[in-house]
Amino acid sequence: MQISFIKCHGSGNDFPLVDARALTLSDEEWANVARLLANREGPVGGDGLLLLTPGDAAHDFGMRMFNSDGSEAETCLNGLRCTARLGFELTGLNEARVKLKTSSATARRCEAIADGVVTIETRAGPASTDPADVGVKVDAPVVDSQIPGLPSERRFTGVAMPNPHLVTFVDAVDEAELVALGDWCEAGPDLIPARANVSFVVAEPQGLFVRTYERGVGLTDSCGSAMAASAFAAGLTGRKEFGTAVMIRNRGGMVVAEAQAPESGGLVSIRGNATFTYDAGIEIDPAAGRLGELVVHNRRFDEAKAWGALVASLD
Ligand SMILES: N[C@@H](CCC[C@H](N)C(=O)O)C(=O)O
How do residues 155-188 score in pLDDT, each as one tens digit?
999 999 999 999 999 999 999 999 999 999 999 9
Q: Is the CB of 167 under 6 A from ligand 1?
A: no
Q: In the prediction, which pLDDT does 203 show?
A: 98
Residue 13 is labelled as binding a ligand: yes
Considering the segment(s) 2-122+274-314 as one domain, its CATH architecture is Roll (3.10)
Across the range 25-41, mean pLDDT stands at: 97
Distance of CA 63 to the CA centre of its chain: 12
Q: What is the ipTM of this complex?
A: 0.98
DSSP string, 72-140: EES--HHHHHHHHHHHHHHH--SEEEEE-SSSEEEEEE---SSTT--EEEEEE---B--HHHHT---SS
Across the range 278-284, mean pLDDT stands at: 98
Catalytic residue among 8, 76, 82, 185: 76
Whether 223 sits among the annotated catalytic residues: the reply is yes
Residue 74 is labelled as binding a ligand: no
Q: In the prediction, which pLDDT does 44 show?
A: 98
Q: Which residues contact 143 (CB under 8 A, 6 or more apart)?
A: 129, 157, 158, 233, 236, 237
Whether 76 sits among the annotated catalytic residues: the reply is yes
Contact of 52 with 65, CB cutoff 8 Å:
no
Distance of CA 252 to the CA centre of its chain: 12
> What's the chain's average pLDDT?
97
What pTM, to 2 d.p., does this model score?
Answer: 0.97
Tell me, what amino acid is at 236? L
Closest CA to 102 of 146, 133, 79, 68: 133
Across the range 240-257, mean pLDDT stands at: 98
Q: Which residues contact 154 (CB under 8 A, 6 or more apart)?
A: 146, 168, 170
Q: Are strands 164-169 and 197-204 parallel, antiparallel or unpaired?
A: parallel
Q: What's the CA-to-centroid distance between 138 and ligand 1, angstroms?
A: 23
Distance CA 76, CA 110 (A): 19
Across the range 109-132, mean pLDDT stands at: 98
In CATH, the number for domain 131-266 is 3.10.310.10
Closest CA to 159 of 257, 48, 266, 81: 266
Q: Is the CB of 217 under 6 A from ligand 1?
A: yes
Residue 250 is labelled as binding a ligand: no
In this model, does residue 146 exceed pLDDT 90? yes
Question: Which of 9, 63, 74, 75 gets mutated to test ligand 1 (max ligand atoms within 8 A of its CB)?
Answer: 75
Q: In the prediction, which pLDDT does 219 show?
A: 98
Q: Is the CB of 197 under 6 A from ligand 1?
A: yes
Across the range 146-154, mean pLDDT stands at: 98
Across the range 259-268, mean pLDDT stands at: 98
Q: Is the CB of 224 under 6 A from ligand 1?
A: yes
Q: What's the CA-to-centroid distance between 303 and ligand 1, angstroms?
A: 23
> Where does the pLDDT of residue 296 fall: very low under 50, low under 70, confident under 90, or very high at 90 and above?
very high
Q: In the prediction, which pLDDT does 143 show?
A: 98
Q: What is the pLDDT of residues 196-230, one digit of tens each?
A: 999 999 999 999 999 999 999 999 999 999 999 99
Contacts of the segment 174-183: beta carbons below 8 A, 24+ positions apart: 174/200, 175/211, 175/219, 177/152, 178/211, 178/213, 178/219, 179/213, 179/218, 179/219, 180/151, 181/150, 181/151, 181/152, 181/213, 182/213, 182/214, 182/218, 182/219, 183/213
Catalytic residue among 8, 82, 185, 223: 223
In this model, does residue 300 exceed pLDDT 90? yes
Domain with CATH 3.10.310.10 in the chain: 2-122+274-314, 131-266
Q: In the prediction, which pLDDT does 88 show?
A: 98
Q: What is the pLDDT of residues 97-110, one digit of tens each?
A: 999 999 999 999 99
Q: In the prediction, which pLDDT does 315 show?
A: 80
Across the range 250-260, mean pLDDT stands at: 98
Give the gyration radius of the chain's Cα atoms: 18
Atom from ligand 1 closest to the CA of residue 78: 12
Q: In the prediction, which pLDDT does 23 show?
A: 97
CA atoms within 13 Å, Cβ hemisphere of 154: 20
Q: In the prediction, which pLDDT does 125 show?
A: 97
CA atoms within 13 Å, Cβ hemisphere of 183: 6
